[in-house]
Chain A
Amino acid sequence: MKVSVAVNGAARTDEVEPRLLLVHYLRDVVGLTGTNIGCDTSSCGACTVHVDGESVKSCTMLAVQADGAEITTIEGLASGGELHPMQEAFRQHHGLQCGYCTPGMVMAATSLLAENPSPTEAEVREGLEGNLCRCTGYHNIVKAVLAAAGAGR
């Protein structure tokens, strides 16, 4: 099955097995391994990417379903050698430790702010309900997202 997508702005077409999950397409076919896999039940959010600008768990989507879509992965966030403001906020506030959940967390957080540019702490916590982190206790992640929101105001 053919799938045509734009990944981080670059258009490409690949022949894939229908059952190929989007996350495996991104990691194994496109070669972008920044998107991680942490579970097999859409629970952890480590594989979160943007499909047409919205956060999606790429383990719960077939690559063929993404046909025609614009996909942004963690590799597409920083530009011109500068971290994206959300990445920078995570760094400034120590919002990551082992870093495995981080790409998905950052993608979920940027999508959250796109929909709600000035969230309260409670809204940030609710907005990240689909992403699990085992290291940080979320304290500094929440701080980072609030800071990024404040910076964007």
Chain B
Amino acid sequence: MIPASFDYVRASTADEAVQRLSEAGEDAKLLAGGHSLLPLMRLRMATPSLLVDIGGMRDLSYVKDGGDSLAIGALTRHGELARNELARREAPLLAHVAGQVGDPQVRHRGTIGGSIAHGDPASDLPAACLALGASFVTASPRGEQTRSADEFFTGFLETALAPDEMLVEIRVPKSAGATWSFQKFNRRAQDWAIVGVALARNGSTRIGLVNMGATPLRATAAEDALAGGASPAEASSRAGDGLAPPSDLSASAEYRRHLARVLVRRALEEAVAG
């Protein structure tokens, strides 16, 4: 299948990109690695009128030490992040999760910014960012803005990004001392997780869930239970509380809730052991 026709421009700076977006209106899309957008366009489930290609901005591909946090350029590819020594040391959960996205070919092209900005509840990296308490730096004609991951994912494939706003950097608090676990459950390695659990434990415990609702989200009931002193078994039994996971071809909502409980418990066990 082939995408419908569209106009195409390349932007070499974030300012130029958001300028293009603001001129074009809602029908324009940024194109980074293209591994979220192009599959939809090929099935003609997305038909943007303009693509602004930001893939050439290699200066937005980096992992930098930002003091208390790690600064990751939005155009950093999954494979680069997975192999990056600094990321592996200071944000091992994120680096590990980046190495679990899709398959090697996807990881060679897909970018962390693209994955976050797409806001797909089935994506692994948003859940990891939630677990790590990451924040997202954006550019727009109104200037730079920083939002926490918790306020970023607003609806199904919807984020707090304005149509003329571009994600430029992901900041992840350093978590070298933390323990963590990522549990990805699927039937084929290349597939989206049926349910995934990204868990970071650093004093408190934060749990990001994959494919357990309309957005990437946190297992707040389980987190609260842990904060209140519940055992891993007790806390994990609440992992699906208050959530409305989808029912689809790969799993019913009921089974997803069950998986969330099992995987959160395993993640807690692993993180405690780790």
Judge whether B4 and A19 touch: CB under 8 Å.
yes
Q: Residue A92 at the B interface, CB < 8 A? A: no
In Å, the complex CA distance between A59 and B41 comes to 12
In Å, the complex CA distance between A56 and B189 comes to 17
**What is the total number of residues of chain A having a CB less than 8 Å from a CB of chain B?**
34
Residues of A within 8 A of B34 (CB): 60-62, 65
In Å, the complex CA distance between A127 and B189 comes to 10
Stretch touching chain A among B18-26, B99-107, B195-203, B207-215: B99-107
**What is the total number of residues of chain B having a CB less than 8 Å from a CB of chain A?**
32
The total of Cβ contacts below 8 Å across the A-B interface reads 91
In Å, the complex CA distance between A60 and B189 comes to 19
Judge whether A55 and B104 touch: CB under 8 Å.
yes
Main secondary structure of the interface of A (DSSP, over half): mixed
Q: Residue A152 at the B interface, CB < 8 A? A: no
Shortest C-beta distance, B95 to chain A (Å), equals 15
Judge whether B8 and A129 touch: CB under 8 Å.
no
Give which listed residue, A18, A40, A67, A127, contacts B104 with CB less than 8 A: A127
15 A–B pairs (Cβ distance < 8 Å), ordered by A? A18-B5, A18-B6, A19-B3, A21-B42, A42-B35, A42-B39, A42-B106, A60-B106, A61-B34, A62-B8, A129-B188, A129-B189, A129-B190, A130-B190, A131-B103
Additional pairs, 5, CB under 8 Å, beyond known A1-B8, A115-B104, A129-B189:
A17-B5, A18-B6, A111-B108, A115-B83, A131-B103
